[in-house]
Amino acid sequence: MLEPYIILWQGGAGELTEKKSRFIAQTQPAESEEEAISFIETVRKKYWDARHHCFAYVCGDRNQIQRCSDDGEPSQTAGKPILDVILGSQVHNICLVVTRYFGGTLLGTGGLVRAYSGAAKEGLHNSKILEKRPGRVMRIGTDYAGIGKIQYILGQNRIAVLDSQYTDKVEVSAMIPAQRAKALEAEITEGTNGKASIELGEEEYYGILEGEVIRF
């Protein structure tokens, strides 16, 4: 059975200033190490005059790939704090780069850790996060007398409807959380006195963003 996990759906940016040093954080979805490295190089070119481009990325539904870099900052003061922010958020398939413009004042190891962690959190906060959930598409066929009951059951269960077609009969497609598919099938069957036809698709990942269903 598929397991739910959280991914970065759309990148974002955040910034903070500490003793005149600017810390600019940017995130980008990265399903592979190649995608992460490509994004890091893009950031380096964009902020070519900056002193440091520290980063961390994790790829895979179980964080199979994890990398981080201090990029010239003292050891464990930049890349690891960024990675800790990512792991703490439980977001997968993400690359997070924090660019630093040095402000002339040394921050010390504690100050650097706080600054890089804080910037990473800002970048993550301004990103779009999506939970990938296991689900199954349920296709329901009924006559016009039964559609009201079906719509009521789906609404009560907060089920997302994908499509509805009205011809000589009504056909509704809905995305059902995988663990609830059989119970909902039984509820609809009982609610329509067995008059509705029900077909369940194979298990797949889906997510809901701003009320819209996204299928993977």
User: Mind listing the pLDDT tens digit for each residue in 170-205?
Assistant: 999 999 999 999 999 999 999 999 999 999 999 999
Domain 133-215's class?
alpha beta
Q: Tell me the pTM.
A: 0.86
Sign of CA dihedral 141, 145, 151, 152: negative
Provide the residue ranges of all domains of the chain, joining segments of one domain with +: 5-126, 133-215
**CB 101 within 8 Å of CB 22:** yes
Q: For position 20, what pLDDT does the model report?
A: 94
Helices and strands (H and E) in the chain: how many: 5, 13
Fold of 5-126: Ribosomal Protein S5; domain 2 (3.30.230)
Q: What is the mean pLDDT of the chain?
A: 96
Q: For position 19, what pLDDT does the model report?
A: 95
Give me the half-sphere count of Cα atoms (radius 13 Å) on the Cβ side of residue 95: 20
SS3 (DSSP) at 64: coil
Q: Which residues contact 190 (CB under 8 A, 6 or more apart)?
A: none
Q: For residue 211, what pLDDT band results from cuts at 50, 70 and 90? A: confident
> CA 146, CA 193: separation in Å to the nearest integer?
9
Helix (H) or strand (E) holding 194, with range, is: none
Instruction: Please say if the pLDDT value at position 154 is more than 80.
Output: yes
Instruction: Please say if the pLDDT value at position 134 is more than 80.
Output: yes
Q: For residue 41, what pLDDT band results from cuts at 50, 70 and 90? A: very high
